[in-house]
A and B are shown apart, each in its own frame.
Chain A
Amino acid sequence: MTREADSDAPIQAHELFEILVREHEPKLRAYLTTLVRDTATVDDLAQESFLVAWRNLDRYDRTLPFGPWVRGIARKLSLAHHRKRATAKVAYVGDEIVEHLDALFAELDRCPGDTLQDQISCLRVCFDKLPAHQQSVLRLHYEQELDCTSISDETGRTREAVKKLLQRSRAWLGDCIAQRLSALGRDQPLGSPSLGGST
């Protein structure tokens, strides 16, 4: 990062920041999805977090990972958002839960892969271990964006049963992923270092 007089064209800080934005945008959105429910708000807060990070980039110590820093900003912005919307139906998840989430995302950073999709792929074994009917319900819910009522029409289960099934599937998946991340962390302490994965 030293200046070179004979450079063809200087790399501007914003170009480097663009790389960081590209690398971290999906994971930051995933992180914010756990804190706020509205997808438009997730997008807005992600945008705002990067903007705040950019404004302070000159103060940022580049030897430290970027991910936890920008996630820290996002967490505080989402908390401010919840405070402003004190009347909103969905409350802030709570500091204790957020600490656990931070730890899980930090472990995900260590997971091999250049992008979030690569990292998720390496956790796919957990999804494959789920019974077929649970996989099917999760697919209907997330991939086809069906709500519980539509899934209950589709599968012939009651709406309550679909809700419980979704909750149980996510809980089991969460436990499996956490254990796998922990194991990956032990087996591959360095993971596959990359700007996105390691930060």
Chain B
Amino acid sequence: MSSPHPSLSEFDEVSAERTSDDARSVARELFAHSLLHAQACSAREGRHGQERRVQAVLTRLRDERESGGMRRTPEPVAGSLGWQRFAWIAAAVLVLGLAVAYWPDSRMTPAWADALADRALADAAKTAHVYDIEIRYELRGKPHRSRWEAALGTDKQFHIKLVEGEVLPAGIEFGSDGKTLWARSRVGQAFELPMHDPSLLPWASVGSELAYYELRPFLESSHGDLQLRVLEIRKGEKGRRVVLGGEYHREDRRRWGRGRRSKTTIKIAGEVRVEVDEQSGQLMRIYKTQRRVAAETEKKTSGRPSWGIVPVSFDLVRRGPVSATTSEFEFDPPRVRTHPMNRVMAWFGAIGRSTLEALRRKRAREAHEKTREKDGR
């Protein structure tokens, strides 16, 4: 689904070896490449290829209109489907033709286009995408289940609610306005978490729509040797779904207990299945399992259970887009702000802990070297 066109990968190879940094020459070569590629694609696919892609765009537009996810629906334009359409086109042709004729400087990127694009991108993201998540896990041989609702907005905004839970009480909420994280219990007031950086949440930067082309590199990079492959294509009422999947193996290093810590390498294996709408490329469902296959412990210590070793299944299903202004989900609720002094203290605490940890490692290293020297003598 995402294998590069052979000619494109070859182009990369050639480009990578280029030593000249003449931007104009590079641009011209890329331009020639794009036209050659477009010409070849057109000859190969004919009108069917373009029609398929246009239909994909139109399907997504239709989905948006039907789901009411759009912030502002464009005004319908009056007229008939007959001659008036062509009259409109003719008028547009004339206006746009004149606009091009009096183009001020075609060698520069038009500033208005840039400004409009900026505004369009800023406005595009007034839609949040809602997902239902179910997590099943086993703790001390007992199965548990929790259900979450997640709304993802743009700029790393999110709002997650625990709908049903056993370990954590249902009703607990977490969220971010893209800058700070906050939490809220079922009955309490939201409060800001002092020491959390939203950018540390890798999935938050994947994007609200969880488009397959953004999700795939994230999934593959965070799941060891995972390589997603097309397993089947399902036909449904709302179009075709591409099912991709693959097994993965990765290693996890966790620290156990406090004080005398030891490194544990946990070997984890599992499976990832992804369902993508073929037309839109949007993620419809992701199912993931993980289990421990082995752990190599340097020194056995007691400690808390880690999610890395608990058998877990994770099932995320797309519910659909909603307006980001809906009251159901909020990214930036009124909340108790963290006092700046507390924030500073938290930072210092973190720095202090890091420093102590670095000193501890240094001492351990020195002690190890001394032992080796003694053994050598």
Please give the residue numbers on chain A whose beta carbons come within 8 Å of chain B beta carbons, in ascending order: 1-4, 7-19, 21-22, 25-27, 29-31, 33-34, 37-41, 43-48, 50-66, 68-69, 71-73, 75-77, 81, 84-85, 87-90, 93-94, 96-107, 109-110, 116-117, 120, 123, 138, 141-143, 145-148, 163, 166-167, 170-171, 173-175, 177-178, 185, 189-191, 193-195, 198-199
Contact = CB atoms under 8 A, between A and B. Distances in A.
26 contacts: A2-B78, A4-B79, A11-B78, A14-B58, A37-B4, A40-B2, A47-B56, A52-B124, A53-B120, A55-B72, A58-B72, A58-B74, A59-B116, A64-B112, A64-B113, A75-B117, A84-B205, A93-B26, A98-B27, A105-B31, A106-B107, A170-B36, A171-B32, A174-B25, A174-B29, A193-B96
Contacts of A25: 50, 53-54, 57
Contact of A195 (B5, B17, B92): B92
B36 A37 contact: no
A103 B107 contact: yes
B321 to A, nearest CB: 11
A46 B259 CA distance: 54
A30 B35 contact: yes
Given A58-B72, A65-B99, A142 B77 contact: no
Given A21-B57, A25-B50, A7 B79 contact: yes
Interface in B279-315: 280-281
A69 B116 contact: yes
- Main secondary structure, interface of B, reads helix
B1 interface: yes
Interface size class on chain B is: 35 or more
B14 interface: yes
A82 to B, nearest CB: 11
Interface stretch (B82-90, B164-172, B368-376): B82-90
B106 A107 contact: yes
Contacts of B64: 51, 54-55
A198 B29 contact: no
Contact of B211 (A48, A53, A138): A48
A143 B44 contact: yes
Contacts of B213: 38, 40-41, 44-45, 81
A141 B79 CA distance: 48
B228 to A, nearest CB: 12
A104 B281 CA distance: 30
The 3 A-B pairs of least Cβ separation, nearest first, read A193-B97, A174-B28, A72-B117
B343 to A, nearest CB: 27
Contacts of A15: 81, 85
A189 B101 CA distance: 6
A5 B99 CA distance: 30
Contact of A52 (B31, B42, B120): B120
B240 interface: no
Contacts of B212: 44
Interface of B: 1-14, 17-18, 23-44, 50, 53-54, 56-58, 60-62, 64-65, 70-82, 84-85, 88-89, 91-97, 99-101, 103, 106-110, 112-114, 116-121, 123-124, 127, 205-207, 211-214, 217-218, 221, 280-281
A90 B217 CA distance: 14
Contacts of A18: 54, 58
Contact of A38 (B2, B38, B73): B2
A166 B14 contact: yes
A19 B91 CA distance: 14
Given A52-B121, A72-B116, A190 B100 contact: yes
Contacts of A104: 27-28, 31
Given A33-B38, A76-B121, 15 more contacts: A1-B77, A13-B77, A17-B74, A22-B50, A25-B57, A40-B213, A51-B57, A59-B116, A76-B117, A84-B217, A109-B100, A116-B42, A174-B29, A177-B31, A193-B94
